[in-house]
Chain A
Amino acid sequence: MTQQLLNGVFRGSIYALFALGYTLVFGILDILNLAHQAVFMLAAFVALALISALHLNLALASLLAVVAAGLIGVALERTAFRPLRGRADSRVSSLISSIAAATILESIALGVWGPDVTRFPLGVLPAPGQEVGIPSIQLVTIGVSIAMTALLTWMLQATRLGRQIRATAENPTAARVLGVNVDRAIAASFFISSALGGVGGVLFGLAFNASPDMGRSVQLKGLAVIVLGGMGSVPGAVLAGYALGLIEVFTVAQIGSSWSDAASFAVLFLVLLVRPRGLFGRSAARLA
């Protein structure tokens, strides 16, 4: 049972890291960035490439991969989202734009690394058998996710950039009047959001191997997470991530694995029908 608990928290950590990215972008721009999963995936491949080709150690490769992910996020914002900002239907077109960007990024990964699953080279992680039956990657992931959440919360609350981001999320016009460089705040949000996705991606790749379509399964679960947690809420994304991870694992343990995915979507629907705002969401989910 403790192992299942650990499994749930581990899975929840990945969901939380992923959902944090979604929620940051939604909080500041009110758009759903469906290219997030592609950045998540690319980070894993970049880390993999750095380790295999340049023989960098795991820590350095991961750091570089995460930074790369952040930069891709910034580029994404510039090319796919900024041009649409003024438009009346910007939410719908941004969604579509993000889907297009995701497709492009996925095709690049497919072209460069091929469709196969690629494992991180051995020796990067402790080999099984040395474990006491608890996979070390699980503990690392949980630890990193908690650390990242703490870091993000501190950044948003205690730093100037964090205040600017929050101000922009609250009301971009007012923020601009108050002297906030809104464009820079948005770019920074995208950087952080994608970097967090990158962290999740590298951990996911280490745990489960990398493939160009690895983001797809997490993407849909990520939607359930942000709906449950509330769009735009950092504590919401984290708590909902862990909650969903645990729900899924316990559905497998008690009912059967076929229904664990259905459980996530059932949660999604229930929340949308009953309280679309989610646990901590601020924005109106229903029309007036």
Chain B
Amino acid sequence: MRPMSSPSLAALFLSLAALAGPAQAADQVVKIGASLSMTGAAAVYGATQKNGITLAVEDVNRSGMLPGVKLEAVVEDDGSSKEQAISVYQRFINQYKVAAIIGPTLSTMATAADPIAQMQHVPVVAVSNTAPTGITDIGDYVWRVSLTEKQVIPGAMKTAQAKLGFKTAGVLYGNDDVFTKAGWDVMKATLEQLGIKVLGTQTFAKMDRDFNPQLTSLLGQKPDVLVISALAENAASIVPQARQLGWKGPILGGNGFNSPSFIKNAGPSAEGVLVGTSWNSASADPVNEKFKAAMAARGFTADQFAAQAYTGVLVIAEAIKQQGGKAGREDVKAGLAKVKDLPTPLGKFSFLPNRDGQHEPAVQIVKDGKFQILH
């Protein structure tokens, strides 16, 4: 057999080289650290946030939105402990060299760990912190996707009042957690604003399980509505206990209720409970539909916390895109400022000038064992 001629050989090599070409230019791996509560009182939220983040990273990588860039999520448990949260942040910043951090599940952890990121100039995107102050106040590297209670509760309460027309309320809130206490502050102010008389206010602690005394006291005053600010775990006990004590009236819950685990553990008592939410699950927006379908395909339950975490990743990806694909920490920070009306499962998302998040909230009612949007 005659050996191949030089030109054809050259052509062969060139074409082989061309095939090998794109594979040689490796994608830049951009790490995003996520410090989540996988154990402790907020574990139920952390688990679902992880799902949202995992899905978002996959979706972004698959969509080709960031050519030449591959996102990678590093998820670690901060155990709802501030020492661990700080430790996790240090690892993210100095060992994994992340481009951005998705902030701790709990606001309390955020106030301990975010300052570290701020000091070392690493952008943080909070996806579930709802404390009104002390989060974005930390500095210009801290951004927030989750709406504060102030942005969600008033609308929810107004809608509920318009529908149900209540004039008096009994209030129960958890006073040893920032999440629930901040919720109560807003609830109190809104009730006042709407001219609803608060007949009684009771508190409880996260560790409590027996709410009968508080509920008996509140229900004894015969309010029109029961307003509760609690973490999902406590809510799942409070609502059945209220029903068992004979309360047949409406129940309005704060942001902590926004977890399917509440419905699962409260059982049939959860029917009819109204909750203000950041995530309009019924929205027919294509991004939302795609999100829900993708979550279902992976066997994940789609809930507000997952939607917010998903949006957190989207926002970071958008920031990188806005900076022309550059994913250094300063680039991400600069890019976040440019995010405007980004289509996300939460709706069109933008940042406010103080780096808090902004989009349309909604009101839900528990119906047939699921959260459904109340129009």
Contacts and interface: CB of A to CB of B under 8 A. Distances in A.
B265 A118 contact: yes
A138 B216 CA distance: 13
Interface string A186-227: 000000000000000000100111010110110000000000
Interface string A92-126: 00000000000000000010001111110010000
Interface of B is mostly: helix
B209 interface: yes
A209 B202 contact: no
A1 B237 CA distance: 22
A171 interface: no
Please classify how large the interface on chain A is, using the bins under 10, 10 to 19, 20 to 34, 35 or more: 35 or more
B268 A253 contact: no
A128 B216 contact: no
A257 B204 contact: yes
A213 B269 CA distance: 24
B213 A253 contact: yes
Interface of A is mostly: helix
Interface in A215-271: 216-217, 248-249, 252-253, 256-258, 260-261
A253 B212 CA distance: 10
B44 interface: yes
Interface in B256-277: 261, 264-269
Contacts of B39: 110, 115
A133 interface: yes
Contacts of B236: 117, 119, 209
B202 to A, nearest CB: 5
Given A129-B243, A257-B214, A119 B207 contact: no
Please classify how large the interface on chain B is, using the bins under 10, 10 to 19, 20 to 34, 35 or more: 35 or more
Given A135-B241, A209-B237, A258-B175, A115 B267 contact: no
Interface string B39-62: 110011000000000000000000
Interface string B262-296: 00111111000000000000000000000000000
A4 interface: yes
B213 A4 contact: yes
B46 to A, nearest CB: 9
Contacts of B205: 217, 261
Contact of A117 (B208, B265, B269): B265
A209 B243 contact: no
26 contacts: A3-B245, A4-B216, A7-B212, A8-B213, A10-B210, A10-B212, A11-B212, A14-B210, A115-B38, A115-B40, A117-B236, A117-B261, A138-B212, A207-B209, A207-B210, A208-B209, A211-B233, A216-B207, A217-B207, A217-B209, A248-B213, A249-B212, A252-B202, A256-B203, A257-B204, A260-B213
Interface of A: 3-4, 7-8, 10-11, 14, 110, 114-119, 122, 127-129, 131-133, 135, 137-138, 204, 207-209, 211, 213-214, 216-217, 248-249, 252-253, 256-258, 260-261
